[in-house]
Structure 1
Amino acid sequence: MTNITIFNVDDNIKNLLQQRASKNGRSLEEEVKEILRLVLSENQKPPVNLVNIIEKRFAHLGNFELGEITREPMRPAPNE
Protein backbone atom coordinates (compact mmCIF):
# COMPACT_ATOMS: atom_id res chain seq x y z
CA MET A 1 0.00 0.00 0.00
CA THR A 2 1.23 3.51 -0.79
CA ASN A 3 1.41 6.42 1.61
CA ILE A 4 0.34 9.88 0.46
CA THR A 5 1.31 13.08 2.24
CA ILE A 6 -0.58 16.29 1.55
CA PHE A 7 1.09 19.53 2.57
CA ASN A 8 -0.49 22.91 3.31
CA VAL A 9 -4.07 21.75 3.84
CA ASP A 10 -6.27 24.68 4.79
CA ASP A 11 -7.20 24.58 8.49
CA ASN A 12 -10.89 24.94 7.61
CA ILE A 13 -10.73 21.91 5.30
CA LYS A 14 -8.92 19.88 7.96
CA ASN A 15 -11.56 20.84 10.56
CA LEU A 16 -14.40 19.91 8.20
CA LEU A 17 -12.75 16.56 7.47
CA GLN A 18 -12.27 15.91 11.18
CA GLN A 19 -15.91 16.76 11.91
CA ARG A 20 -17.09 14.49 9.10
CA ALA A 21 -14.82 11.68 10.34
CA SER A 22 -16.15 12.02 13.89
CA LYS A 23 -19.73 12.06 12.64
CA ASN A 24 -19.11 8.84 10.68
CA GLY A 25 -17.14 7.16 13.46
CA ARG A 26 -13.91 7.03 11.47
CA SER A 27 -10.39 8.33 11.85
CA LEU A 28 -9.35 11.27 9.71
CA GLU A 29 -7.27 8.94 7.55
CA GLU A 30 -10.15 6.50 7.05
CA GLU A 31 -12.53 9.33 6.21
CA VAL A 32 -10.20 10.68 3.52
CA LYS A 33 -9.83 7.16 2.07
CA GLU A 34 -13.61 6.78 1.97
CA ILE A 35 -14.08 10.16 0.26
CA LEU A 36 -11.48 9.27 -2.37
CA ARG A 37 -13.05 5.85 -2.93
CA LEU A 38 -16.52 7.38 -3.38
CA VAL A 39 -15.37 10.11 -5.74
CA LEU A 40 -13.26 7.80 -7.87
CA SER A 41 -15.95 5.13 -8.10
CA GLU A 42 -18.46 7.77 -9.27
CA ASN A 43 -16.20 8.50 -12.22
CA GLN A 44 -16.32 4.85 -13.28
CA LYS A 45 -19.96 5.05 -14.38
CA PRO A 46 -20.60 3.94 -17.95
CA PRO A 47 -20.88 6.76 -20.48
CA VAL A 48 -24.30 8.35 -20.96
CA ASN A 49 -26.34 6.88 -23.80
CA LEU A 50 -28.06 9.86 -25.40
CA VAL A 51 -30.54 7.69 -27.30
CA ASN A 52 -31.81 6.09 -24.08
CA ILE A 53 -32.17 9.49 -22.42
CA ILE A 54 -34.19 10.83 -25.36
CA GLU A 55 -36.39 7.70 -25.40
CA LYS A 56 -37.12 8.07 -21.69
CA ARG A 57 -37.84 11.79 -22.08
CA PHE A 58 -40.50 11.23 -24.75
CA ALA A 59 -41.84 7.82 -23.62
CA HIS A 60 -45.04 9.41 -22.33
CA LEU A 61 -46.00 10.28 -25.93
CA GLY A 62 -46.29 6.61 -26.88
CA ASN A 63 -44.85 4.79 -29.87
CA PHE A 64 -44.69 6.62 -33.14
CA GLU A 65 -42.49 6.61 -36.20
CA LEU A 66 -41.09 9.64 -37.91
CA GLY A 67 -41.13 9.56 -41.66
CA GLU A 68 -37.88 9.39 -43.54
CA ILE A 69 -36.48 12.74 -44.47
CA THR A 70 -35.80 13.04 -48.18
CA ARG A 71 -32.36 14.33 -48.85
CA GLU A 72 -31.13 16.56 -51.61
CA PRO A 73 -27.82 16.01 -53.38
CA MET A 74 -24.83 17.73 -51.81
CA ARG A 75 -24.01 21.16 -53.12
CA PRO A 76 -20.67 21.57 -54.82
CA ALA A 77 -17.86 23.02 -52.74
CA PRO A 78 -17.35 26.76 -53.24
CA ASN A 79 -14.42 27.82 -55.36
CA GLU A 80 -12.13 30.32 -53.74
Structure 2
Amino acid sequence: MAALSIRDLDDSVREKLRLRAARHGRSMEAEIRLILTKAATEDEHPGTDLFSALTHRFAQLGGVELEPPARTTPPRAADFGEQ
Protein backbone atom coordinates (compact mmCIF):
# COMPACT_ATOMS: atom_id res chain seq x y z
CA MET A 1 0.00 0.00 0.00
CA ALA A 2 1.09 3.55 -0.63
CA ALA A 3 2.13 5.99 2.07
CA LEU A 4 1.37 9.72 1.96
CA SER A 5 2.82 12.68 3.81
CA ILE A 6 0.81 15.87 4.12
CA ARG A 7 2.80 19.02 4.72
CA ASP A 8 1.65 22.44 5.87
CA LEU A 9 -1.59 21.17 7.39
CA ASP A 10 -3.07 23.81 9.65
CA ASP A 11 -2.92 22.88 13.34
CA SER A 12 -6.65 23.51 13.74
CA VAL A 13 -7.41 21.03 10.96
CA ARG A 14 -5.18 18.44 12.59
CA GLU A 15 -6.98 18.95 15.90
CA LYS A 16 -10.40 18.62 14.26
CA LEU A 17 -9.28 15.38 12.62
CA ARG A 18 -8.01 14.10 15.96
CA LEU A 19 -11.33 14.89 17.66
CA ARG A 20 -13.31 13.36 14.82
CA ALA A 21 -11.24 10.18 15.00
CA ALA A 22 -11.76 9.99 18.76
CA ARG A 23 -15.54 10.40 18.34
CA HIS A 24 -15.55 7.49 15.91
CA GLY A 25 -13.22 5.35 18.02
CA ARG A 26 -10.48 5.26 15.39
CA SER A 27 -6.90 6.37 15.16
CA MET A 28 -6.25 9.58 13.23
CA GLU A 29 -4.59 7.54 10.51
CA ALA A 30 -7.63 5.25 10.17
CA GLU A 31 -9.99 8.24 10.15
CA ILE A 32 -8.02 10.04 7.45
CA ARG A 33 -7.77 6.83 5.43
CA LEU A 34 -11.57 6.46 5.57
CA ILE A 35 -12.14 10.11 4.60
CA LEU A 36 -9.79 9.82 1.62
CA THR A 37 -11.28 6.49 0.52
CA LYS A 38 -14.81 7.91 0.59
CA ALA A 39 -13.75 11.05 -1.27
CA ALA A 40 -11.90 9.07 -3.94
CA THR A 41 -14.62 6.48 -4.51
CA GLU A 42 -17.79 8.57 -4.42
CA ASP A 43 -19.59 9.19 -7.68
CA GLU A 44 -18.68 12.59 -9.08
CA HIS A 45 -22.28 13.15 -10.15
CA PRO A 46 -24.51 11.26 -7.73
CA GLY A 47 -27.63 12.46 -9.57
CA THR A 48 -29.48 13.32 -6.40
CA ASP A 49 -31.66 16.31 -6.94
CA LEU A 50 -33.42 18.27 -4.22
CA PHE A 51 -36.69 16.36 -4.61
CA SER A 52 -34.94 12.98 -4.30
CA ALA A 53 -32.95 14.13 -1.29
CA LEU A 54 -36.07 15.42 0.48
CA THR A 55 -38.04 12.28 -0.39
CA HIS A 56 -35.27 10.13 1.06
CA ARG A 57 -35.06 12.29 4.17
CA PHE A 58 -38.80 12.21 4.86
CA ALA A 59 -39.00 8.48 4.10
CA GLN A 60 -36.87 7.95 7.21
CA LEU A 61 -39.56 9.79 9.19
CA GLY A 62 -42.46 7.78 7.84
CA GLY A 63 -42.83 9.43 4.46
CA VAL A 64 -45.17 12.06 3.09
CA GLU A 65 -47.65 11.63 0.26
CA LEU A 66 -48.31 14.84 -1.63
CA GLU A 67 -50.77 15.12 -4.48
CA PRO A 68 -49.90 17.68 -7.13
CA PRO A 69 -52.49 20.45 -7.35
CA ALA A 70 -54.93 20.30 -10.25
CA ARG A 71 -54.28 22.74 -13.05
CA THR A 72 -56.88 25.48 -13.10
CA THR A 73 -55.75 27.06 -16.36
CA PRO A 74 -54.61 25.32 -19.53
CA PRO A 75 -50.92 25.61 -20.37
CA ARG A 76 -50.05 28.31 -22.88
CA ALA A 77 -47.40 28.33 -25.58
CA ALA A 78 -44.20 30.23 -24.96
CA ASP A 79 -43.90 33.52 -26.86
CA PHE A 80 -40.42 33.94 -28.34
CA GLY A 81 -41.29 37.09 -30.28
CA GLU A 82 -39.10 40.16 -30.01
CA GLN A 83 -40.21 42.92 -27.72
TM score, norm. by length of structure 1 = 0.53
For structure 2, the residue ranges without an aligned partner over 5 or more in a row are 53-66, 76-83
Matches within 5 A, 1:15-26: 15-26=15-26
Residues in 1 aligned to 2:30 and 2:22: alpha-carbon distance in whole angstroms = 11
- Cα shift readout 1:6-29 (whole Å, capped 9, x = no counterpart): 011100000000000000000101
Query: For residue 60 of structure 1, what is the amino acid of its counterpart?
Result: P
% identical aligned pairs: 26
CA distance in 1, matches of 2:24, 2:43: 20
When residues 15 and 44 of structure 1 are mapped into structure 2, their CA distance, relative to the original with a 3 A threshold, is: same
Aligned length: 65
Give structure 1 stretches of 5+ with no counterpart. Answer: 54-58, 67-80
Which has the greater radius of gyration? Answer: 1
Higher helix share: 1
Cα RMSD (Å): 3.3
